[in-house]
């Protein structure tokens, strides 16, 4: 018995005719770059989230980079973020020559702890970039209140939280700018790289649209520094097909998470009462992780670790000189977290096998 970690093939089988039709329409009309599906998707995404502007881009990392560029983040500026995320969150700050300033996490949700945020603000702070990790929003009311007091913009790294809700409001519509990823295994994924930026601010939207196409405002005229950050038309077509049933998938994620919680009891991840997680990862904590992973592997259950090394301990950021112990809660989580198979297409038999194998490995 082998179980998929995220079952994308089952999703394709379910949506095949719709997806194939959408892709073929692009192959037929031939507008592979910025074809009509890109604008159609942007309209649909904006409507789905209730946000004014959606801007399709090439991937989630570029979405974050474009957001920082639109906010004019420059060398020497400080951007506050979490040490417990995928490297992309910090990479884009460093690429601009800016300095990532880390704030430790709330160990229950793994998201940036707002109680520690204000102490990290300095005269050089230019933005705050929290991550909504594993599909659960950070505490944006608390974060936004501190940001507002200091006149700072907030960027939600919503690469894992498209579709999540925070106090009845949509992830991707909670902050100055939000950025998501449509990498295949994200909650809403395409069949290659893809991403989007979101904002309610007209001037920032206009800037991000320009930056996405080499900083141009009209053809061969470039008022600002940009890059090639466009979303492929074919990927937009795939996303349009998948968006039609996305709410059904979210309902399935809820059902599967509830079933896991029943089976796993207090091992189940903590979700704040005001949050609806999309479970981009279904992540538990175990003490003897390597052994548990090996036992699960032997039982045909794949697992993954998101993430084994906190960002301040990554060799590429050695220049920041942040020794072990700098962010103890992120470091402790990195030693213990382990993600289980999760997707809207995880069937009950397989899920039961995952849970019983885990409980057996833990001798519970
Ligand atoms: C996936 C991810 C990204 C990067 O998205 P890509 O589309 O792979 O570039 C950024 N931040 C977080 C938290 C992610 O999980």
pLDDT (tens digit, 9 = 90+) per residue, 200-223?
999 999 999 999 999 999 999 999
Alpha carbon of 4 to those of 9, 10, 132, 206, 230: distances in Å? 9, 10, 24, 41, 31
Look at residue 3 and tell me if it is in a domain.
no
What whole-number distance in Å separates Cα of residue 118 and Cα of residue 229?
Answer: 33
DSSP string, 295-342: HHHHTT---B-S-SS-GGGSGGGGGG---TTSSHHHHHHHHHEEEEP-
Q: What mean pLDDT do residues 291-318 have?
A: 97
Q: How far away, in angstroms, is 161 Cα from ligand 1 center?
A: 11
Q: Is the CB of 194 under 6 A from ligand 1?
A: no
Express each pLDDT in 323-351 by its tens digit: 999 999 999 999 999 999 999 999 999 99
Determine the average pLDDT of the residues in 243-262: 98
Rounded to the nearest whole angstrom, what is the distance from the C-alpha of residue 28 to the centroid of ligand 1? 31
Q: Which atom of ligand 1 sits closest to the CA of residue 182?
A: 7
- Is the Cβ atom of 171 under 6 angstroms away from ligand 1? no
The model's pLDDT over 26-66, given as tens digits with 9 standing for 90+, comes to: 999 999 999 999 999 999 999 999 999 999 999 999 999 99
Q: Does the beta carbon of 135 lie inside 6 Å of ligand 1? A: no
Is the CB of 159 inside a 6 Å radius of any atom of ligand 1? yes
Picking from 172, 168, 170, 133, the residue whose alpha carbon sits closest to that of residue 154 is 172
| Cα–Cα distance measured from residue 197 to residue 67, given in angstroms and rounded to the nearest whole number | 7
Same domain for 227 and 318, yes or no, is no
Residue 2: what pLDDT? 80
Neighbours of 123 (CB within 10 A): 5
| 336 within domain boundaries | yes
The reply to whether 288 falls in a domain is yes
Judgement on whether residues 223 and 132 belong to the same structural domain of the protein: yes
Out of 243, 269, 286, pick the residue that ends a domain: 243
The CATH number covering residue 344 comes to 3.90.1150.10
Number of domains, the chain: 2
Lowest mean pLDDT among 1-5, 11-15, 29-33, 106-110: 1-5
Residue 129 lies in a domain: yes
Beta strands (DSSP E) in the chain are: 53-57, 78-81, 99-102, 125-129, 155-157, 165-166, 169-170, 177-181, 195-199, 275-276, 282-285, 337-340
Q: Are residues 141 and 288 in the same domain?
A: no
Q: Are residues 123 and 231 in the same domain?
A: yes
CB 178 within 8 A of CB 171: yes
Asked if residue 88 has its Cβ within 6 Å of ligand 1, the reply is yes
Last residue of a domain, one of 243, 264, 279: 243
Ligand 1 lined by 86 (C-beta under 6 Å): yes
Q: Both 231 and 117 in a single domain? A: yes
Count the residues in the chain.
364
For position 1, what pLDDT does the model report? 62
CA 64 to ligand 1 centroid distance, Å: 9
d(C-alpha 111, C-alpha 137), whole Å: 8
Pocket test for ligand 1, best of 79, 82, 95, 159 (most atoms within 8 A of CB): 159
Statement to judge: residues 180 and 271 lie in one domain: no
Per-residue pLDDT, averaged over 303-318, amounts to 97
Average pLDDT over residues 63-75: 98
What CATH number is associated with residue 118? 3.40.640.10
Q: Do 223 and 91 share a domain, yes or no?
A: yes
Q: What is the pLDDT of residue 300?
A: 96
- The angle at the Cα of 149, spanning 50 to 130, to the nearest 5 degrees, equals 55
Q: How far is CA 357 from the centre of its chain?
A: 28
The pLDDT mean for the chain works out to 97
**Residues 176, 200: contact at Cβ < 8 Å?**
no
Tell me if 1 is assigned to some domain.
no
- The predicted model gives 184-213 an average pLDDT of 98
**Omega before residue 119 within 30° of 0, cis:** no
pLDDT at 191 over 70: yes
Rounded to an integer, what distance in angstroms lies between the CA atom of residue 69 and that of residue 63?
10
What does the angle CA 147 – CA 74 – CA 46 come to, to the nearest 5 degrees? 55
Same domain, yes or no: 296 and 212: no
Overall average pLDDT of the 118-147 stretch: 98
Q: Are residues 307 and 233 in the same domain?
A: no
Give the Cβ contact number of residue 322 at 10 Å: 18
Q: Give 69's contacts (C-beta < 8 A, 6+ positions apart).
A: 96, 211, 225, 226
Q: Cβ(61) to ligand 1 under 6 A? A: yes
Residue finishing a domain among 243, 272, 294: 243
Ligand 1 lined by 160 (C-beta under 6 Å) = yes
Give the model's pLDDT for residue 277. 98
Residue 82 lies in a domain: yes
What is the position in ligand 1's atom list of the atom closest to the CA of 62? Answer: 9
Query: pLDDT band at 364, cuts 50/70/90?
Result: confident
Task: Tell me: do 328 and 268 sit in the same domain.
Answer: yes
In a domain, 2, yes or no: no
Residue nearest to atom 2 of ligand 1 (CA): 159
Kindly state whether residues 250 and 235 are assigned to the same domain. Answer: no
What is the span of the domain harbouring residue 88?
8-243
Residues 199 and 274 in one domain: no
Q: Ligand 1: which residue has its CA nearest to atom 7?
A: 60
Among 157, 158, 278, residue to substitute to test ligand 1 (most atoms within 8 Å of Cβ):
157
Looking at the CA of residue 63, tell me the nearest atom of ligand 1.
9
């Amino acid at each position: 018995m082998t179980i998929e970690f995220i079952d994308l093939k089952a999703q394709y089988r379910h949506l095949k005719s719709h997806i194939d039709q959408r892709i073929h329409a692009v192959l037929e009309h031939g507008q592979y770059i910025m074809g009509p599906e890109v604008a159609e998707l942007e309209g649909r995404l904006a409507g789905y989230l209730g946000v004014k502007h959606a801007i399709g881009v090439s991937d989630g990392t570029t979405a974050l980079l474009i957001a920082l560029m639109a906010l004019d983040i420059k060398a020497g500026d400080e951007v506050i973020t979490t040490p417990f995320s995928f490297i992309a969150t910090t990479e884009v700050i460093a690429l601009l020559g800016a300095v990532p300033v880390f704030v430790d996490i709330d160990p229950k949700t793994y998201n940036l702890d707002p109680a520690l945020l204000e102490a990290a603000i300095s005269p050089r702070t230019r933005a705050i970039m929290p991550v909504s990790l594993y599909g659960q929003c950070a505490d944006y009311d608390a974060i936004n209140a501190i940001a507002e007091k200091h006149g700072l913009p907030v960027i939600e790294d919503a690469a894992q939280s498209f579709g999540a809700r925070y106090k009845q409001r949509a992830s991707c519509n909670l902050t100055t700018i939000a950025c998501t990823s449509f990498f295949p295994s994200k909650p809403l994924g395409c069949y290659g790289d893809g991403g989007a930026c979101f904002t309610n601010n007209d001037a920032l939207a206009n800037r991000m649209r320009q930056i996405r196409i080499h900083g141009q405002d009209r053809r061969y005229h470039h008022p600002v520094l940009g890059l090639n950050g466009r979303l492929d038309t074919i990927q937009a077509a795939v996303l349009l097909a998948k968006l039609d049933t996305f709410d059904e998938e979210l309902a399935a994620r809820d059902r599967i998470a509830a079933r896991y919680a029943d089976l796993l009891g207090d091992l189940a991840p903590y979700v704040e009462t005001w949050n609806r997680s999309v479970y981009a990862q279904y992540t538990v904590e175990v003490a003897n992780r390597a052994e548990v992973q090996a036992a699960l592997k032997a039982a045909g259950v794949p697992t993954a670790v998101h993430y084994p090394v906190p960002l301040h301990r990554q060799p590429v950021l050695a220049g920041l000189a942040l020794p072990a112990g700098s962010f103890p809660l992120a470091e402790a989580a990195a030693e213990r977290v382990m993600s289980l198979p999760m997707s809207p297409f995880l069937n009950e038999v397989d899920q039961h096998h995952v849970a019983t194998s885990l409980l057996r490995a833990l001798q519970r």
